[in-house]
Amino acid sequence: MNAEPLVVANCSKWYGHVLGVSDITWRISGGIVGVLGANGAGKTTLMKLMTGLIQPSRGSIDVFGTSPFRQPEVRARIGYAPDHDRTWDEMTVRELVTRLAELAGVDRRRAGAAASAAIELVGLADARDRTVRVLSKGMRQRTKLATAIAHDPDLIVLDEPLTGVDPVARIDLVERIRELAKRGKAICISSHVLYEIEALTDRVAVLDRGRLVADGVVSSIRRQLPQQPYRVRVVCDRPRDLAAALVASTAIASVAIDREAVVADTYEVDRCYTAVAEAVRACDLVVTGMSTLGSDLGALLTALTRGPRE
Amino acid sequence: MTARAAISAIARLTWWRLAHGRGIWLAVAVAMLPIPFAIALRGHASYALRSFEIQQVVLVVLPAILIGMALAGELDDGSITYVWSRPLARWTLIAGKLVAVAPCAIGLVILSWLVTTWLGASGLPTLASIGALGAGALAATAIATALAVSSPRYGTVLALVYMLCDGVIGQIPAQLQRLSIAHDVSELAGLRGSSPLIGALSLAAILAIAIAIAIRRIGTHEA
């Protein structure tokens, strides 16, 4: 079947009176495509539609030429990692990935090997026999990625896979996702943070209050933003050491300490995160949180929607 | 993926989770509840009848607990998204869960009945009573499944309430009592004086209706 990985035509979804997505027309031909939007913009609803978890209230959504809700067979070609962490926590990583590979149609005798390969690919080989319950957030994200790819799907749908992941793991996870794209997979990845998507791809779709407000190359969309820095906040055990290390980086415009966190302004987010990761490694710091203060996406959405955010 | 392979994979997954969860011990504890009554009633003239009535409580409560663990929990907490995103027809989830849970429910109910009668020193139970309890456990599992799919969050509670009302419905002196699993099981076991065939047909009808509701509801369920 040579149909396009995804074709969305005038697709709307309501939950009772609540709007999920509204009249979206969109397509994915291949490669990595980012879905951007603030919380509640409709990213997860769109991804659930793409994976057949829910059906459109109006319009149509076809994956490889087939409705994923009505024709379950096509879901063998889809890999999905949901945004939530609720899974079968009592299983080990290997058991979970193996069971889900079996459910995806991988032959029972081959499922173990397929799971091991996927676990290896996401860099979890050392943790394969640990129960999911005890994994860190970053490891859980990798586990979800492994469950999404173990059955070798052609379209991989990842809902906020980088949320809550520390800088070192983030860089690694981004590389793993890029590696999958190099293998010819079509990848759709959502985030509410622009730099996360920029690190992966230059093709994005921007959602706002359920509507598709932009679809294209990041640089052209970014040009609609007023020139302002990104602001990155890193919470760690020794913020003064981290701040001292970051001051030396040319990627950082300014650095400030806010209680137990370091707040860095930058115009080059990729280089900033590389600098943070290097500083964390060099100083042997323990990072407990990291966030990007969302003015960039807010400004982008304001520019795109020509109105203040609610 | 064939329907048979899907049902088999879901059933194996469900067994694994039941075997590794704490809930299975709760189910075993419920199955063993009649034992104190068996000891207390030992040697009593109406021991066989009384112990069978107590056994019917296990019969209706145990499937609700097992289905609550195996299905309602997954539907409610969202972990079912991992199943729904796989190439499985919706009805195979119901079939797979029933294939996994029904034998557990039937086995525990019958085991409980064997232990109870043995402790009561009333000899081995009749084949009719064993068969009736097994059929009742199957019907109760199907009802618990239909309720779990219809209302995942409150499915277990609704199933328990339904099952507790079951005994009351069975006492209604009208055809309505045929909706009661406990009543039909008693009839099938030959304790009501009427034809066991009518009890069997009533249980079959309850089973068919419950499965039809579960399959219809799961077809429109959205994760």
Instruction: Determine the 3-state secondary structure of B53 from DSSP.
Output: helix
What span, in angstroms and rounded, lies between the C-alpha atoms of B202 and B186? Answer: 12
Q: How far apart are CA A130 and CA A122, in angstroms?
A: 15
Q: Which of A102, A132, A151, A155 to mutate to test the interface with B (most CBs of B within 10 A)?
A: A102
Chain B residues closer than 8 Å to A78 by CB: 85
Q: Which chain A residues touch B77 with a CB distance below 8 Å?
A: 86
Q: Is B22 helix (H, G, I), strand (E, B) or coil?
A: coil
Interface residue of A67, A103, A133 to substitute, partner B, most B CBs within 10 Å: A103
Among the residue ranges B50-54, B66-70, B111-115, B119-123, the one predicted with the least confidence is B119-123
Contacts of A98 by beta carbon, 8 Å cutoff, 6+ apart? A111, A112, A114, A115, A150
Q: How far is CA B23 from CA B65, B105, B155, B160, in A?
A: 8, 13, 16, 15
Provide the CA B63 distance to its chain's centre, in angstroms.
3
Residue B17 to residue A88, Cβ atoms within 8 A: yes
3 state DSSP class of B95 = helix
Q: How far is B117 from chain A (nearest CA, A)?
A: 37
Can you tell me the distance from the alpha carbon of A200 to that of A25, in angstroms, rounded to the nearest whole number? 23
Taking contacts as CB-CB distances below 8 angstroms, the residues of chain B near A52 are 84-85
**Where are the domains positioned within chain B?**
3-220
CA distances from residue B100 to B28, B104, B210 in whole angstroms, order as listed = 16, 7, 17
For chain B, counts of helices (H) and of strands (E) = 11, 0
Which pLDDT band, with edges at 50, 70 and 90, does A59 fall under? very high
Shortest distance between the Cα of A285 and any Cα of chain B, in A, equals 34
Residue A293: CA count within 13 A, CB half-sphere: 14
Could you tell me whether strands A6-15 and A18-28 are parallel, antiparallel, or unpaired per DSSP bridges? Answer: antiparallel
Confidence of residue A295 (pLDDT cuts 50, 70, 90): very low
3-state secondary structure chain A: CCCCCEEEEEEEEEECCEEEEEEEEEEECCCEEEEECCCCCCHHHHHHHHCCCCCCCEEEEEECCECCCCCHHHHHHEEEECCCCCCCCCCEHHHHHHHHHHHCCCCHHHHHHHHHHHHHHCCCHHHCCCEHHHCCHHHHHHHHHHHHHCCCCCEEEEECCCCCCCHHHHHHHHHHHHHHHHCCCEEEEEECCHHHHHCCCCEEEEEECCEEEEEEEHHHHHCCCCCCCEEEEEEECCHHHHHHHHHCCCCCCEEEEECCEEEEEECCHHHHHHHHHHHHHHHCCCEEEEEEECHHHHHHHHHHHCCCCC
Chain B positions touching A74 (Cβ under 8 A) are: 87
pLDDT confidence of residue A308? 44
Quote the mean pLDDT of chain B: 87
Distances (CA, A) of A199 to A143, A229, A299, B163: 21, 16, 19, 56
Phi/psi at B65 (nearest 5 deg)? -65, -45
* Residue B143 touches chain A, beta carbons under 8 Å: no
- Residue pair B51/B120 in contact (Cβ under 8 Å)? The answer is yes
Q: What is the pLDDT of residue A310?
A: 40
User: Regarding predicted confidence, which is higher, A192 or B216?
Assistant: B216
What proportion of chain A, given as a percentage, has pLDDT over 90? Answer: 50
Predicted confidence at residue A55, as pLDDT, reads 92
Total CB pairs under 8 A between chain A and B: 79
Cβ contact A75–B86 (<8 Å): yes
Count of alpha carbons within 13 angstroms of residue B24, beta-carbon side: 13
- B1 interfaces chain A, CB cutoff of 8 Å: yes
Check if A52 contacts B (Cβ < 8 Å): yes
Among B150, B152, B147, B153, smallest CA distance to B166 is for B147
The mean pLDDT value for A170-184 works out to 88
pLDDT band, very low/low/confident/very high, at B48 (cuts 50, 70, 90):
confident
* pLDDT score of A179 more than 80: yes
Sign of CA dihedral A220, A225, A226, A230: negative
Burial (CB count within 10 angstroms: exposed 0-12, middle 13-18, buried 19+), residue B39:
exposed
> Can you read off the two tokens belonging to residue A25?
């027309």
Q: Residue A14's pLDDT band (boundaries 50, 70, 90)?
A: very high
pLDDT at residue B69, rounded to an integer: 87
Answer yes or no: is the ipTM higher than 0.85.
no
**Contact status of B223 with chain A (Cβ, < 8 Å):** yes
> Bigger pLDDT: A222 or A133?
A133
Cα dihedral B147, B150, B156, B158, rounded to 10, equals -70
B13, B82, B93, best to mutate vs chain A, most A CBs in 10 Å: B82
Pairing of strands A78-81, A32-36: unpaired
What gap in Å lies between CA A240 and CA A235, rounded to an integer?
11
Query: What CATH code would you report for A230-305?
Result: 3.30.70
Tell me which residue in B5, B20, B87 faces A72 most closely, judged by beta carbons: B87
- pLDDT for A2 equals 61
Q: What is the pLDDT of residue B159?
A: 83
Output the pLDDT for position B117. 84
pLDDT level of residue A202 (50, 70, 90 thresholds)? confident
pLDDT band at A81 (very low <50, low <70, confident <90, very high): very high
Closest Cα in chain B to A147: B82
What value does the mean pLDDT of chain A take? 87
Comparing CA positions, the residue from B88, B83, B86, B58 lying closest to residue B70 is B83
Kindly report the number of other CB atoms within 10 A of residue A210's CB atom.
21
Give the confidence band of A227 by pLDDT, cuts at 50, 70, 90: low
Q: At what angle do helices B181-188 and B155-171 cross, to 10 degrees?
A: 60
Better-predicted residue by pLDDT, A219 or A26: A26
Q: Nearest Cα to A24, choosing from A8, A6, A2, A44?
A: A8
- The pLDDT score that the predictor gives to residue A155 is 96
Measure CA B139 to chain center: 6
Verify whether the Cβ–Cβ distance B1 to A78 is below 8 Å: no
Q: What is the pLDDT of residue A214?
A: 86
Any A CB within 8 A of B78 CB = yes
Contact call for A103 and B20, based on CB within 8 A: no
Is the pLDDT confidence value at B157 over 90?
no
Select A6-222's CATH number: 3.30.420.40, 3.10.129.10, 2.30.30.110, 3.40.50.300. Answer: 3.40.50.300
A271-298: average pLDDT: 80
Contact B79 A54 (CB under 8 A): no
Instruction: List the structure tokens of A152.
Output: 């070798």
Query: What are the chain B neighbours of A105 within 8 Å (beta carbons)?
Result: 1, 5, 86-87
Note whether B9 contacts A82, CB cutoff 8 Å.
no
* Domain layout of chain A by residue ranges: 6-222, 230-305
Does pLDDT of A300 surpass 70? no
Q: Is the pLDDT of residue A209 over 50?
A: yes
Q: Please, are residues A59 and A12 in contact by the beta-carbon 8 Å criterion?
A: yes
Partner A contacted by B86 (CB < 8 A): yes
A298 has pLDDT over 60 = no
Which pLDDT belongs to residue A309?
A: 43
- Any CB–CB contact under 8 A between A158 and chain B? no
From CA A175, how far away is CA A186, in angstroms rounded? 15
Q: Is pLDDT of B142 > 90? A: yes
A163 pLDDT tier (thresholds 50, 70, 90): confident
Place A297 in a pLDDT band, splitting at 50, 70 and 90.
low
Using only C-alpha atoms, chain B has a radius of gyration, in whole angstroms, of 18
Which of the residue ranges A281-285, B22-26, B137-141 would you say has the lowest mean pLDDT? B22-26
* A44 interfaces chain B, CB cutoff of 8 Å: no
| Residue B43, amino acid | G
Q: Does B2 touch chain A (CB under 8 A)?
A: no
The nearest alpha carbon in chain B to A73 belongs to: B87
Section A102-127 average pLDDT = 93
Is the CB of B78 less than 8 angstroms away from the CB of A84?
A: yes
Residue type, A88: W
**Which has more confidence, A97 or B78?**
A97
**Which residues in chain A touch residue B6, judged by CB atoms under 8 angstroms apart?**
103
